[in-house]
Amino acid sequence: MMALPIILISTIGFLPATVICLVMCLTVMYVSSASLWQIIMLTAAGILYLMVELFSLFQADGHLSFYRIHEFSSNGLQITPYAMSEVHTDWMFTYIIYSFGWLAGLIALLLFVIFIYRVFHTAKRVKMAYGKMVMTGLAAVFAAKCLLSIFTNFGFLPLPGVSMPFMSYGGSHILLEMMAVGLILSIYRRRQMGDVFFAKKREVFPK
């Protein structure tokens, strides 16, 4: 069942969404104590799919096109964007470094790391298994989007269209990310509900 959303998303041909969904499903499977062979099988299938997609890109272009709209200076520290009109979308992290320096980029990255760590850490305190899986799945989505966006910005991955969470310009992804944060806060607010539910269940159905 976990492979079904990955298969459906892969049919649209958008590789970054497939990678993010794969990371989320593997994280949820790990948290839900799925069997090791199921995790290994899904991981192997995902790696095989990624290899096929990258090979098809190579066959189509003769080489892998690494999307990058900036260049490094001779000392390797200064980033200069090629097209200033595009940096506010998927290349926001590059523009932050270009405008405010590497220190600002490191601070932004540190804030993302703290946010993702706090979500994972808070998920351990949630009593209900469903809420814990939702929180860890959303944290995995944020982590995957952040890493894919950074790697794409620096030209390490040929994956266009990966927006930086909470930073890139756009309406739909910002709205969905805010909804995800609201869902995380709602689960944290009801983190003790699991104990209450099972206590009432034992009262209604005593052994």
Tell me the pLDDT band of 73, cut-offs 50, 70 and 90: very low
d(CA 3, CA 109): 31
Q: What does pTM read for this prediction?
A: 0.75
Inside any domain, residue 148: yes
Q: Is the model's pLDDT at 69 over the cut of 70?
A: no
pLDDT at 74: 45
Nearest to 160 by CA among 170, 168, 171, 152: 152
Inside any domain, residue 54: no
pLDDT at 21: 84
Inside any domain, residue 21: yes
Please check whether residue 45 is in contact with residue 76, taking contact to mean a CB–CB distance below 8 angstroms: no
Inside any domain, residue 158: yes
pLDDT in tens, 134-193: 899 999 999 998 888 888 877 777 776 678 888 877 778 888 889 999 999 998 888 777
Inside any domain, residue 83: yes
Q: Mean pLDDT throughout 90-96? A: 79
Q: Mean pLDDT throughout 85-104? A: 76
Please check whether residue 79 is in contact with residue 72, taking contact to mean a CB–CB distance below 8 angstroms: yes
Q: How many CA atoms lie within 13 A of 106 on its CB side?
A: 3
Both structure tokens of 109: 């990255």
The structural domain count of the chain equals 1
Inside any domain, residue 195: yes
Inside any domain, residue 52: no
pLDDT in tens, 3-59: 676 676 666 667 778 888 888 888 888 888 778 888 888 888 888 877 777 777 666
Domain region containing 150: 14-39+66-204
